[in-house]
Structure 1
Amino acid sequence: MSVSTCGVPFDGLSLRAIVDELAPIVAGARIQHIVQPSATDLVLRCYRPGRTVKLLISCHPEWARMHLVEDAGPNPPAPPTFTMALRKWIEGAEIVRVAQRDADRIVDIEIHRYAQRFTLIAEFMGRHSNIILVAEDGTIVDSAKHVPPRLSRARQTLPGRPYTSPPRPSGLHIPWESSSREYLRPVLSRRDTELVSVLREALMGLSPYLARIIVRETAARGLDAAWEAIYGPVRTNQWSPGVVLTEQGDVLGAYPVTLEPDRSRSTPTFSEALEQAYGAMERDRELRIRSKDLADRVADIVAKLRRQIKDAQSWQDDLNEGERLQRWADLLLASAGDTIRVDNKVRVTDHYDGGEVEIPIAVGHSIHDTATGYYRKARKLAIRSGTKRERLPELEAELQALVPIQQQIERMESLEQLERIANTPIARSALRSTQSERKQVSARQAPAMPPGVRSITTDDGWVILVGSNAEGNDTLLRMCRPNDLWFHVRGGTSAHVAIRCGMHGRTPPPALIRFAAGFAAANSPSKHSRLVTVDYTLRKHVRRVKGGPPGRVRYSHERSIDIEPGSGPASYTATGSRDN
């Protein structure tokens, strides 16, 4: 595997480069405004005479990073708790210093507001990434992600607790110091297949991506030349940032040094490279999500069409069956006085071929009543056969038009192409027909729900409850059984959502969990965010806050899922759903 086929992370060297770039821009600037476009992303609008910049700090579990952006993203109508705390304490304050801790993936942003001093700490550590505001005495004011004792006994990040640094192994070397190069010289001279692991255990903030580059470049040009190419910019502050590409030209990420010019697109600043790379990756993710959603919906329609065509192709069978029943009815009436009845059958002379035929007779019914029933069924079969025969060419033509669209969706490379496909007349018509069918299904009679609680039943029998207000959330909590699965947006207000799992606690499929979590995300102030984290746990782990307002709860043993609001409730279309 070549280095470029691996993911490009935001590692210790990336953080050093972005700090070198940002320090002269934001140091001395005032924080004009703070927005939190998603649960994991924070944007500080910073002003200094002659220039206003937007600083993005993200603690996304996969895309944690920090850089300047042009677009701050949507501003939620109701700011999350963390945003309100930041606005209270540091909006209008001055950024004094931006510094990386040694070579680790942690940055400290020192902020002064009148006589008060705060530090906004960003930890870029995968799923443990976090953004924490710390007061001068070392107390945590608030954090983007709260880590209670049940999640970590060693280190909690909760308001009022003292801040402690993330644990790290002792004996790590700072990569760009010359002593590190000399320490590793005898190690890198070996032809060891485990060199990448050895490097990561010896150097601080080193990613597998950079470790592979070091091993490759050392083998190609020697340790001193490789070290200078990779870590020289730390000393000279002469970075060569760019967007890293695959051989096919797909975006892998961004890096502050260019070591493969043929697989890199250079940019004036590292912030621009990061914004381009992560913007492309977000668009790619959105394309994959929307493509899958559209592909699933079209696949459902295609499968339904094939079932309908198979049924329509049986028009001849219906016609033959109708003729047989018509013949039986004629024979029964023609032979009413010359029949032999045995149990629930009669034997009559077949005037069509001269033999005898046995005709079923319903228990308790006369021959005349039975013949009338056969005539009625024969008429229905004749009508159904004619309808199927007329409908068959239309169904086959619709299927023939949809199959190429299904194939094109799999090859889509941009959202614009996907939109064009989705807006073709045949696709619009097919998708509209399925939506109208769902509306018809939702009109079915269902048990009445208490005020403030909505019930959604999927076609495979799962029941989802959604609270529509605080009282409804409270009612929903009382309705749930201990083994029902309960959902709520992390760190914010949202509708309570529950999946009814039955007395024995059936396990909902992953698609259903994402479907239900989508309702919590879509019914929260973060519904306009790009990504919302939703917690879910069993109802038995949810407790009402004594003396608190309706719907206020505490919960434990939770797991979490990241949802794009609006996409969740549409992602369980394989079975469909209906509102009760």
Structure 2
Amino acid sequence: MAFDGLFIHSLLKELTPQIIDGRLSKIYQPFNNDVVLVFRKDRKNRQLLISANPEYPRVYLTKEAFSNPDVAPLFVMVLRKYLEGSVLQGIEQVGLSRIINFSFSGRNELGDEMQLVLSVELMGRHSNVILYNKQDGKIIDLLKRINPDENRVRLLLPKAKYELPPLNPGINGFQLSEAAFKQLKQKYPDPADFAKQMDGLDGDDRKELTGYLEDDFSYGSLKIFYQQFESPRAFVLLTPRHKRRIYPYLPYHLEMTKESSASQLNEALDDFYAYQANRDWVKQRSQQIERVVSNERKKLSKKIGKLNKQLAAAENSENLRISGELLTAYLNQVKPGMTKIDLPNYYENNSPMTIKLDPALSPQKNAQKYFKRYKKMRDSIKHVQEQIAISEDSLRYLDSVQTEIDNADPQDIDQIKDELVAQGYLKQTQRKQRRRKISEKNLAKFTLSDGKQLLVGKNNLQNDWLTLKKADKRDYWFHVKNIPGSHVILQDSQPTDQDIKEAAEIAAYFSKARHGSHVQVDYIQVKRIKKPNGAKPGFVIYTGQNSIEVTPDEEAILAKKAKD
């Protein structure tokens, strides 16, 4: 189910006690659509993620680690000015709509107290986060500024008066009395029609309520349905098409299978959205470098195509030499001003060969011209071959960078940028930034079934550091065969066959062959890994390796990932 009115009602039951009366100590905007508020309460920090993502807007407490942008966006600067250090006084849902108001007491530039509201509207592509002054109703700032011609219903700009979006509220089932229930039942005797009159329900909730009423069309049945939202838990279910959905109760009337359950809704939401949010955040962070990598790959592919044509022409340049020889041998037959001549080719049983001539040149100079072109073409072969090798090496490197991006977490993108700056693909920003140090905390960590530890580099800089500096020479190194992927280190000198299989599956997962089957993975002890002088980041050589064929299983692999 989506963040509908009933889901938000359940979430606030759990969320409110954890942050109400907490002091807002820090505010971040790590991504375009996401704001993180850090509340300090009972000597603990709690991070509230507010996302106006158009596909899956949401609010919940998260333990995700966020890296702050080098330059704070304007909206977060405004929030810091008005809200940082203030106490959260109240959290209120507007009816059973998808609007949550967080009330704060702040101060203006003159030090006068202000009643401020941070309104979170979770409405698909119209989702927004709006800060306004409760006393005069004026908007101070908002996450998404909307031009008047884009939204004629209400003005969403600073200094405009805050107005609620158009709402079509139905009946609040939490407040419905038994007498009102009976009247409504008389008006809508069909359970499905009755359920349509209730507020805050998405399609799944409406089907579930209809099922309750079809089983027993009574006030008691209605109350049982709504009581589930007063003491929520978390249930993750799979649809018949294997799509995952999360509910604050366990539905009985929907065609779904239960995948997991948890007692804390916030923690379950953090896990549930981890992959989707991660991909979205990586996409936002990596837009610039993906564009650069894509453009460079296209340029290199075109260049290699042209070089191969040039090489083919050079390798098939014997006709130039033969033309020069024939002109020299039959020089007396070549007359000034001729544009072409047919001469017997003694290399082909004297069959006639047409040779083009420059009428402005003498017969001797025409022959010399063919010899010069032949020599130039033959001399170019070695250079063209070298250029092809360099270009193919660069293309392989950029393929590895694209694989890094595909497998990255948001915090890895900055290191990938550092790598591309060092390789000359990106320009250093005007304000020179300190190069980010790599440590074990940057790596992905896994625990195999027998408890052995496995480390995974998620970009080329991490790969080099992990293999060449961090790993023990007796450890085992894993990498997909001839495909871009991560360096994987099994921290053990005597792995079992099961260890090798599990480590190889993880190596296959962190590669371009993530979704493939029968993936070949090389493995060898670290002491036999070498890095050639001048090689690009992440590139190593080795001999004497063994190989194993595996098929990565995402669910089984992620289950082995160590919790931060």
Q: Normalised by the size of structure 2, how large is the TM-score?
A: 0.57
Q: How does 1:237-256 map to 2 (within 5 A)?
A: 237-245=230-238, 252-256=244-248
8 Å CA contact 2:154–2:163 kept in 1: the answer is yes
Partner Cα separation in structure 1 for residue 296 and residue 209 of structure 2: 47
Deviations 1:340-365 (A, max 9, x none): 67841235455564565543221211
Paired letter, 1:156: L
Gaps of 5+ in 1: 1-7, 424-430, 443-453, 455-466, 470-580
Paired letter, 2:119: I
**Aligned CA distance change for structure 1 residues 360 and 208 (closer, same or farther; 3 Å):** same
Query: Cα distance, 1:116 vs. partner?
Result: 3.8
1:96 — aligned with what?
A: 89
- Which of 268, 273, 279 is residue 268 of structure 2 equivalent to? 273
1:203 — aligned with what?
A: 198
SS in 1 for 2:375: helix
**Aligned CA distance change for structure 1 residues 331 and 26 (closer, same or farther; 3 Å):** closer
- Which of 139, 142, 145 is residue 140 of structure 2 equivalent to? 142
Paired letter, 2:163: T
8 Å CA contact 1:323–1:378 kept in 2: the answer is yes
Query: Cα distance, 1:249 vs. partner?
Result: 7.1
1:283 equivalenced with 2:278 (yes/no): yes
Partner Cα separation in structure 1 for residue 101 and residue 137 of structure 2: 15
8 Å CA contact 1:132–1:140 kept in 2: the answer is no
8 Å CA contact 2:338–2:358 kept in 1: the answer is no
8 Å CA contact 1:98–1:110 kept in 2: the answer is yes
2:121 — aligned with what?
A: 123
Query: Cα distance, 1:367 vs. partner?
Result: 0.4
Partner Cα separation in structure 2 for residue 257 and residue 268 of structure 1: 11
RMSD: 5.0
Paired letter, 2:363: I
Query: Cα distance, 1:226 vs. partner?
Result: 7.1
8 Å CA contact 1:243–1:254 kept in 2: the answer is yes
Partner Cα separation in structure 1 for residue 315 and residue 25 of structure 2: 78
Query: Cα distance, 1:108 vs. partner?
Result: 2.3
8 Å CA contact 2:78–2:141 kept in 1: the answer is no
1:75 — aligned with what?
A: 68
**Aligned CA distance change for structure 1 residues 229 and 371 (closer, same or farther; 3 Å):** farther
Query: Cα distance, 1:211 vs. partner?
Result: 3.1
Partner Cα separation in structure 1 for residue 74 and residue 352 of structure 2: 86
Partner Cα separation in structure 2 for residue 216 and residue 310 of structure 1: 68
Partner Cα separation in structure 1 for residue 362 and residue 377 of structure 2: 23
Paired letter, 1:344: T
Deviations 1:7-40 (A, max 9, x none): x311111110121112323333333333333343
- Which of 16, 24, 31 is residue 31 of structure 1 equivalent to? 24
1:132 — aligned with what?
A: 130
Gaps of 5+ in 2: 107-111, 432-564
Paired letter, 1:75: N
Partner Cα separation in structure 1 for residue 360 and residue 135 of structure 2: 93
Query: Cα distance, 1:156 vs. partner?
Result: 1.5
Q: How does 1:238-387 map to 2 (within 5 A)?
A: 238-245=231-238, 252-259=244-251, 262-285=257-280, 307=305, 311=309, 315=312, 318-320=314-316, 322-339=317-334, 343-348=338-343, 353-354=349-350, 357-383=353-379
Partner Cα separation in structure 2 for residue 22 and residue 283 of structure 1: 23
Partner Cα separation in structure 1 for residue 233 and residue 99 of structure 2: 22
SS in 2 for 1:242: strand
**Aligned CA distance change for structure 1 residues 283 and 347 (closer, same or farther; 3 Å):** closer
SS in 2 for 1:346: strand
Query: Cα distance, 1:387 vs. partner?
Result: 7.5
Query: Cα distance, 1:297 vs. partner?
Result: 8.2
SS in 2 for 1:9: coil
Deviations 1:472-511 (A, max 9, x none): xxxxxxxxxxxxxxxxxxxxxxxxxxxxxxxxxxxxxxxx
Paired letter, 1:159: P
Query: Cα distance, 1:383 vs. partner?
Result: 4.3
Partner Cα separation in structure 1 for residue 403 and residue 65 of structure 2: 31
1:64 equivalenced with 2:57 (yes/no): yes
Query: Cα distance, 1:149 vs. partner?
Result: 3.1
Query: Cα distance, 1:154 vs. partner?
Result: 3.2
1:174 equivalenced with 2:172 (yes/no): yes
Partner Cα separation in structure 2 for residue 214 and residue 120 of structure 1: 32
- Which of 8, 22, 25 is residue 15 of structure 1 equivalent to? 8
Q: How does 1:445-524 map to 2 (within 5 A)?
A: none
- Which of 30, 41, 53 is residue 46 of structure 2 equivalent to? 53
Query: Cα distance, 1:229 vs. partner?
Result: 5.7
1:87 — aligned with what?
A: 80
Deviations 1:174-200 (A, max 9, x none): 24444686647886847xxxx6xx688
Partner Cα separation in structure 1 for residue 406 and residue 208 of structure 2: 30
Q: Normalised by the size of structure 1, how large is the TM-score?
A: 0.56
Deviations 1:36-76 (A, max 9, x none): 33343333332334544233333332332222223463334
1:158 — aligned with what?
A: 157
8 Å CA contact 1:35–1:42 kept in 2: the answer is yes
Aligned length: 405
Q: How does 1:396-415 map to 2 (within 5 A)?
A: 415=408
8 Å CA contact 1:61–1:127 kept in 2: the answer is yes
Deviations 1:81-130 (A, max 9, x none): 43343333333333232221211111222333585433332221122222
Partner Cα separation in structure 2 for residue 21 and residue 270 of structure 1: 7
**Aligned CA distance change for structure 1 residues 369 and 73 (closer, same or farther; 3 Å):** same
Deviations 1:241-272 (A, max 9, x none): 2344557976x353312227843422232111
Deviations 1:141-163 (A, max 9, x none): 42323334333333123333332
SS in 2 for 1:37: strand
Paired letter, 2:90: R
**Aligned CA distance change for structure 1 residues 184 and 120 (closer, same or farther; 3 Å):** farther
Query: Which of structures 1 and 2 has the larger relative contact order (alpha carbons within 8 angstroms, sep 6+)?
Result: 1
Partner Cα separation in structure 2 for residue 148 and residue 11 of structure 1: 27
Partner Cα separation in structure 1 for residue 65 and residue 39 of structure 2: 12
**Aligned CA distance change for structure 1 residues 226 and 364 (closer, same or farther; 3 Å):** farther
**Aligned CA distance change for structure 1 residues 297 and 328 (closer, same or farther; 3 Å):** closer
1:40 equivalenced with 2:33 (yes/no): yes
SS in 1 for 2:145: coil
SS in 2 for 1:263: strand
